[in-house]
Every structure is written in C-alpha cells, then in structure tokens.
Amino acid sequence: MRTMKYFSLMLSVATLTAMAGCTVKDVDLPALAGPSTFANNIVMTASTNTLVQDGVSQALITIKATDAAGNLKNIPLRADITVDGTIQDFGRLNTKTPIANVTQLIYTAPPSSALASGQVAQTVTIVVTPMDAGDFRSEVSRQLDIRLVPQGIIQPTNPNLTASFTVTPASPQVMSTATFDASATTNNGAACNSQCTYSWDFGDGTSGTGVTVTHIYRRASSFVAVLTVTDSRGAQSTTSRAVVVAPGTPPTPAFTFSPTPAVVDQTIFFNAAASRAVPGRTLVKYDWDFGRGTTGTGVTVSKSYDAVGTFTVTLTVTDDAGATATTSQTVNVTNPQPNAAFTVTPSSPAAGETVIVNASSTTGPSPIVSYIWDFGVGSSPSTGTGVSSSTSYPGATVGSTKVITLTVTDSAGRTSVTSRQVTIK
C-alpha cells in the first residue's frame, strides 16, 4: 500500500513538472569548506624510531603529501618538537619550515643528561602542521614519536618491588651488635625473600649483603643506612633510614692513693686498678689530671707536690667502645716539721763525767740530714754533730744545771729544735 502511494506521488511530481515546461538538471555538490587538511594526505616516516641520547645521533624524517586525487603536492609545513605535549627544543631540527616532497626533516638527539632522570628513556614527538591555508592554527597536525635511549646500561624498572627493612635495636649502642632485617621487602605484594638480592650501605663506610645482616658501629653518631634490593630481572628498589648510635653504658672509674696524708715533696702513688668496664667492653685508656697543670697516663702513676694545699685529682677512663667516665678525689698536702728528740746518759752526771747524747728518737716527714749539738756553758767540748755525741762538765759544782740543745734539719730543709736540762750530782 505504501509503495502505491509513493508511485502516485512521483507521477504527480512528474506531471506538474511537465506542465510547467521545466527541464531537470544535475546539481553540482558545493565545495568543501574548512581546513585544507581535508583535501591533503600527509604521511610522515622516520629512518628510525629510536635514538641514543648522545647529542649526535640523527633520524631522517620523510614527509609525503598528496592531494585528494592522489597527486604529489608540495605543501609548506611548520615543524615542532614536543615533549608530553609541550613544545620545547629537546634536541634539534635542521629546519622548522619544511616543504613536503621537497625538504627532509633531520632530527638530532639531545646530549646526555647529568640528572638521574636522564637514565630513563624519553619520547619526543615531531609535529608538522600544514601552512598552505595561511592560518595553521585551524589545520590538523601530523606527528610521529622518536624514543630517546640514554647512554650506558638502563636498568629495568619494577614498580611492584618495594624495599623495606628494620633495625634491632632501633638505636644501638657503640660497639654493640645491630641486626638489619630486609625480610619485609615485597615483590608484587609477596615477600621477595631469596628471589631478590640485598645490598646494604651502613652509612659509616662499610657495607654488607643478605636478607639479614649484623653490623657494629664503632662511634656514636647518626648514620643513614641504605638498602638496595634487586629482583631476578635486575630491577632495583632502594630505601633508607637514619640509625642513631648511642654512646653506650659508661665504665666505672675508681682509684686509690698513698700515703695519706701526704707531705710536700713526698711521692704519692695513684692506682686505678679498681676501675671497671661494662661486660663485653675493655678499658683501654687512663688519663690523670693532678691539678696545677700536671697530667699523667696509665693504670698506676706517681706524683709529688712542692707546696702545701688541697689538690683535686681527676681520673678519666675510656673503654674500647669510646665510652668515658670520670671521678675525682682531693689530696691534702701538708708540710709538718721534724720532731727533734734525744736522750742523755747519765741523766745526772758528776762533774767531769762523760755525758753521751743520742738523737735517734728524732722523727720527721723526711730524712734527717743534720744534727747540731750545743752542750751549754762549761762543757767540753761545747758543741757536737751527728746523731750521737758526747761532752763533760769539768769543774761543775754539785747541784748546778746545764742545758743541752739539739737542732735537726731534714732533707726538705725543715728544722726542729729541742733542749734538755741536766743536773750535776
């Protein structure tokens, strides 16, 4: 039914046309409007799609243009280098205004980069835009990519490889053992374990390998430990953390000295053998400060003072881990005089009888080096020297008294004087 209506309509149109005396003609299609791109076919080809990023490697780019009928056509072009869609001179073009079918573009790779990112391959895009329409902004561009490969060895990447490690104890002490454990490292979410290799840099100039390693730091400081994990394909992942190394438990210093009290110019002996290091450590150094600018080293030392006073003696001990500790004591230095003393035999001599004196009971802080005797008036002889001496009192009357005086001097120049009175019987 619909077909019959359509046929009737066509007859009606034909009848009306004949009645009007009109002739039916072919109607030409209107010309294409818009960019000339629609009438052009532009094809870009490169001699290579990969260049070494060395500043000299080149790619030859041929541009072929044909019109809508397939005939070659010389078209003026604008050429640009883009990276991630941004125009920039990353490398060089021999011209930025080539003509298709006449000029060949030559792209030269940029020099190698000193940056770490220069070790990752990049892609540059060569873009050409027709300019025969006068306003190239309305044209459709053609483009091709060239991959830049940095010089040297390029490590494969594995974004699923994650290096991780722990340190036990978290803040180790000097000369104690710290354990570094990388078993938390994962590859694609699973523990990497023996499927990876592990390289350690402990930050103090030493290194190690293995999933779990131990290390001893020999000084107190903060160190950056770095773990580099490599999977079976050679891809790597790196992580780091600061390790603060504590000084450790200090040793215990202690010392004794004798004699005490001490006197001027007397040798005093100091002994630090009672000092102790913590278990596992050894004392390696003993430093003494005796005051008045004098020092010494060693487990045992000696010192004398040439003046009276109270002096602070300080001992500093150091163990093999570098830990130190200090203790002090005071030393009193005195300057007592010698104590002169003597005996007289007989204690009550007769006139003319020999009297013997003896000063062996004299005492003092230093050796006695001089004994001088004064036997008084009427004595013969009237003076004497030595620890023992003798005299007499000829012509002395019974009941008269005589005074005997002793002066002693020690090695330090100190003197002492004493006297005794004797009665003649």
Break the chain into its structural domains and give their ranges: 36-150, 161-245, 256-334, 343-423
The token duo for 30 is: 């209107």
Helix residue ranges per DSSP H, 21-99: none
Nearest to 174 by CA among 131, 217, 208, 204: 217
**% of the chain at pLDDT higher than 70:** 87
Calpha distance 331→336 (Å, rounded): 16
What string of DSSP letters covers 322-345? Answer: S-EEEEEEEEEEE-PPPB---EEE
Topology (CATH level 3) of domain 256-334: Immunoglobulin-like (2.60.40)
For residue 299, give the 3-state DSSP assignment. coil
Architecture of domain 343-423: Sandwich (2.60)
pTM for the model: 0.44
Q: At 193, phi and psi to the nearest 5?
A: 45, -125
Q: Tell me the average pLDDT across 335-340.
A: 88
CATH code for the structural domain at 36-150: 2.60.40.10
Could you report the per-residue pLDDT of 6-15, keeping only the tens digit for each?
333 333 333 3
Checking if the pLDDT of 318 tops 80, the result is yes
CATH H-level, domain 161-245: superfamily: Immunoglobulins (2.60.40.10)
Q: Do domains 161-245 and 343-423 have the same CATH topology?
A: yes
Could you report the per-residue pLDDT of 228-284, keeping only the tens digit for each?
999 988 899 999 999 999 888 899 999 999 998 888 888 999 999 999 999 888 999
